[in-house]
Amino acid sequence: MVSAFSDEVTQAAQALARGELIGLPTETVYGLAGDALNPKAAAAIFSAKGRPADHPLIVHLGDASQVTVFARAVPVAAEKLMTAFWPGPLTLILPRREGVADAAAGGHATVALRCPSHPVAQQLLQAAHRLGVQGVAAPSANLYGRVSPTTAAHVRQAFPSLRVLDGGACTVGIESTIVDCSQDIPMLLRPGMLTLAELSHVCSVPLSLPRASHTPAPAAPGNKASHYAPRAKLRVMSVQEMVSRLPSLLKLALWTRQTIETPEGVIQLTMPSDAAACAHDLFARLHELDAWGVQEIWVETPPMGQQWDGVRDRLQRASA
């Protein structure tokens, strides 16, 4: 029988079925992927990233019909969100079926599920499913605490010996929006490119937000105050503040919407004024500026408004 999948996809699916890890392109960021039901694969993901084993992984599915393999119940809000946004950049936290994907879920009573829209991710998930892989656990393919990868080259930098499926530059550029549907009222745990207003509209109830003092259980890396950090020191400030502080530093890069007068040697890159374009560029810029060896990166404070929540969140953590 002739396979519907390319050789790369078929071989990557076979690697997953053997319990190996691969680099997986998705529309948000690249993932470090392994069979979600294979405890050894999950352990290998935690150890490769240097991530504590109780920080749960997101399980990726080819389509919504596979949700009940992992989830014990699917609340109405989750149904509505899946219908509206899957496949796409949305992760749902649901009550976990007992004994299923314990290692990937870090032993927590809930499981994070997401159906990515990237065509290569879709092909891989379908090919792997035919080989008996029912879900693919994948955190972002970066070392713990570092900048997430949005190209295959970023993944190869972090994991030189990993088999990486190249799906081009990620179109979204920041991680999926995470909504916890395991409680009575759905809660926005991680902002992404879907706005609070859109999500609330689809659920027909206003989503709640974690209180500032409240670390959502389970404590998870994307929720740590400091995350996504480049090697350079990152600061977020207004253009006025930049102008007043400028001359003091040598290897400095600015990422601003407006161009400002700078001393020679200061790198100035244009920050898109559209939130989606800015999310798309964000991690790629941080990787690029780190590769240039700048000491500091000054980023202009993003505009207000919900479309910017995801970008603002990543910048806050990267500068923490």
Binding site for ligand TXA (CB under 6 A): 26, 28-29, 31, 56-58, 91, 93, 105, 108, 110-112, 114, 138-140, 175-176, 178, 189-190, 216, 218, 220-223
Task: State the nearest-atom distance from the C-beta of 88 to ligand TXA, in Å.
Answer: 10
Cis peptide bond upstream of 303, omega within 30 = no
Does residue 140 belong to the site contacting Mg ion (CB under 5 A)?
A: yes
- From the list ligand TXA, Mg ion, none, pick the one residue 218 interacts with, judged by a Cβ distance below 5 to 8 Å according to partner type: ligand TXA
Q: Evaluate whether 62 touches 201 at the Cβ level (below 8 Å).
A: no
Q: Evaluate whether 58 touches 96 at the Cβ level (below 8 Å).
A: no
Instruction: For residue 307, give the 3-state DSSP assignment.
Output: helix
Task: State the nearest-atom distance from the C-beta of 2 to Mg ion, in Å.
Answer: 37
Pairing of strands 177-180, 233-237: unpaired
Task: State the nearest-atom distance from the C-beta of 109 to ligand TXA, in Å.
Answer: 8
Tokens 């389970």 found at: 218
- State the number of binding residues for Mg ion (CB under 5 A): 1
Span interacting with Mg ion, options 5-13, 15-23, 135-143, 294-302, rule CB under 5 A: 135-143
Task: State the nearest-atom distance from the C-beta of 294 to Mg ion, in Å.
Answer: 23
Task: State the nearest-atom distance from the C-beta of 84 to ligand TXA, in Å.
Answer: 17
Task: State the nearest-atom distance from the C-beta of 298 to ligand TXA, in Å.
Answer: 26
Q: Whose Cβ is closer to Mg ion: residue 45's or residue 266's?
A: 45
Q: Whose Cβ is closer to ligand TXA: residue 102's or residue 288's?
A: 102
Instruction: For residue 223, give the 3-state DSSP assignment.
Output: helix
Q: Evaluate whether 192 touches 89 at the Cβ level (below 8 Å).
A: yes
* Maximum CA extent, the chain: 68
- From the list Mg ion, ligand TXA, none, pick the one residue 189 interacts with, judged by a Cβ distance below 5 to 8 Å according to partner type: ligand TXA
Q: CA-CA distance, 143 to 292, in Å (whole number)?
A: 19
- From the list Mg ion, ligand TXA, none, pick the one residue 114 interacts with, judged by a Cβ distance below 5 to 8 Å according to partner type: ligand TXA
Q: CA-CA distance, 196 to 59, in Å (whole number)?
A: 23
- From the list ligand TXA, Mg ion, none, pick the one residue 91 interacts with, judged by a Cβ distance below 5 to 8 Å according to partner type: ligand TXA
Span interacting with Mg ion, options 31-39, 48-56, 134-142, 267-275, rule CB under 5 A: 134-142
Pairing of strands 22-24, 31-35: antiparallel
Task: State the nearest-atom distance from the C-beta of 253 to ligand TXA, in Å.
Answer: 25
Bridge partner list, 95: 110
Tokens 């953590």 found at: 317
Q: Which two tokens stand for residue 23?
A: 């680099």
8-state DSSP, 26:
-
Q: Whose Cβ is closer to ligand TXA: residue 266's or residue 282's?
A: 282
Q: What are phi and psi of 243, to 5 degrees?
A: -60, -40
Q: Whose Cβ is closer to ligand TXA: residue 66's or residue 140's?
A: 140
Task: List interacting residues with Mg ion (CB under 5 A).
Answer: 140
